[in-house]
Amino acid sequence: MNTQSHIFGPVPSRRLGFSLGIDLVPYKTCSFDCVYCQLGRTTNKTIQRREYVSKKLIMKELEERLTKGEEIDYITFSGSGEPTLNSKIGEMIRDIKRMTAIPIAVLTNGSLLFEVEMRDELRNADLVLPSLDAVKQNIFEMINRPHEGLLMEKIVEGLKKFRKEFENEIWLEVMLVKDINDGVGDVKQMTDVINEIDPDKVQLNTVVRPPCESFAMPLDPVKMKEISKMISEKSEIIASHDRRAQTAYEKEIEKEIVTLLKRRPCTIEDISSFLGMHRNEIVKYIEVLEREKRVMERRHGNQSYLVVSEDEMRPM
């Protein structure tokens, strides 16, 4: 089990196979506060770029990890918030490319791509996966709850410019939330903008439990297919595959989470510190346990707790 604080995994990822995550910002530093975020509410909403986590520390931890010879499909900048807020991301990508041939992916909300320096810093990545959930300012504000300095129009411009300048693949993710951005008119507008951006792939996703806000509900598979047809020939629905079939899914960890929750309700943060694992890893297990209705979410004030189901509490 990895207990280092800024490198996590490899975690089985829907899109990237076995992904070794690098966390460049403290929990939870982001320019958005998306209603569907699995990490909880943003506590530091900012557009200020700085070296939130030291490059030196990250490079040292990564070097150690790479000597283990684990199966890694991608080194992925993701984690506890928006990775492009770290002002050293460009230098880190450049130095990692010198260190290993493993491809580098960057998961970003795309909010800073309107800045020329930002686009330039990502140019050595092998794959960039920006998200775009709205094209109208009011829907953007509803779903992504952005920092007040951010305008949808500028973000779209940034994505278009990035497409023109970036030579490798761009996979654009659209997160669909029931009754917020799934209206026919909104999807049509989004389609036009996506065609102008022209990413290599469009990946449609919907809310996975537990989201930040309980009102953020997923779309059913039929609606997802309808929207996929409307959006683009390049669009695909990101299948919710069986995490258990992957070797990085450890039954022992699942058992430890259930045992802990039988003792008391916990937040994802509680489970993460108890097991010494990164939140993003814990979220993968919770996703499986929630789908199987063994674990569920309970709200208490602003806080979201996980509890085990009654069936799970019954003695076998």
Region binding ligand SF4 by CB under 6 A among candidate stretches 27-35, 55-63, 201-209, 265-273: 27-35
d(CA 47, CA 210): 26
Output helix, strand, coil percentages for the chain, rounded to the nearest 5.
40, 20, 40
- Scanning 232-309, the segments in alpha helix (DSSP H) are 251-263, 268-275, 279-291
For every residue of 179-202, DSSP letters joined together read TTS--HHHHHHHHHHHHHH--SEE
Beta carbon of residue 34, minimum distance to ligand SF4 (angstroms, whole number): 3
β-bridge partners, 30: 45
Beta carbon of residue 103, minimum distance to ligand SF4 (angstroms, whole number): 21
Burial class of residue 259 (count of CB atoms within 10 Å of its CB; 0-12, 13-18, 19+): exposed
Nearer residue to ligand SF4 within complex by CB, 33 or 254: 33
Size of interface with ligand SF4, in residues (CB under 6 A): 10
Determine the residue type at 150.
Answer: L
The CA angle 124-165-21, to the nearest 5 degrees, is 35
Beta carbon of residue 190, minimum distance to ligand SF4 (angstroms, whole number): 17
Nearer residue to ligand SF4 within complex by CB, 23 or 82: 82
Residue 30 interacts with ligand SF4 (CB under 6 A): yes or no = yes
Nearer residue to ligand SF4 within complex by CB, 89 or 308: 89
CB 78: neighbour CB atoms within 10 A? 23
Beta carbon of residue 49, minimum distance to ligand SF4 (angstroms, whole number): 15
Beta carbon of residue 255, minimum distance to ligand SF4 (angstroms, whole number): 28
- Our CA dihedral for 80, 86, 90, 95, rounded to 10 degrees, sits at -70
Among 10, 12, 21, 81, binds ligand SF4 (CB under 6 A): 81
d(CA 272, CA 266): 10
Among positions 140-199, residues that touch ligand SF4 (CB under 6 A) are none
Nearer residue to ligand SF4 within complex by CB, 105 or 308: 105
Among 82, 173, 254, 281, binds ligand SF4 (CB under 6 A): 82
Residue 114 interacts with ligand SF4 (CB under 6 A): yes or no = no
Beta carbon of residue 19, minimum distance to ligand SF4 (angstroms, whole number): 15
Residue 281 interacts with ligand SF4 (CB under 6 A): yes or no = no
Residue 23 interacts with ligand SF4 (CB under 6 A): yes or no = no
Beta carbon of residue 175, minimum distance to ligand SF4 (angstroms, whole number): 8
| Secondary structure string (H, E, C) spanning 119-144 | HHHCCCCCEEEEECCCCCHHHHHHHH
Q: How many CA atoms lie within 13 A of 290 on its CB side?
A: 20
Q: In 3D, which of 32, 206, 207, 43 has the Cα closest to residue 111?
A: 32
Beta carbon of residue 71, minimum distance to ligand SF4 (angstroms, whole number): 26
Among positions 32-51, residues that touch ligand SF4 (CB under 6 A) are 32-34, 37, 39, 42
Nearer residue to ligand SF4 within complex by CB, 109 or 232: 109
The CA-atom distances, in angstroms, between 126 and each of 139, 163, 167 are: 31, 13, 9
Beta carbon of residue 82, minimum distance to ligand SF4 (angstroms, whole number): 5
Nearer residue to ligand SF4 within complex by CB, 32 or 171: 32
Residue 52 interacts with ligand SF4 (CB under 6 A): yes or no = no
Which residues sit at the interface with ligand SF4, rule CB under 6 A?
Answer: 30, 32-34, 37, 39, 42, 81-82, 109
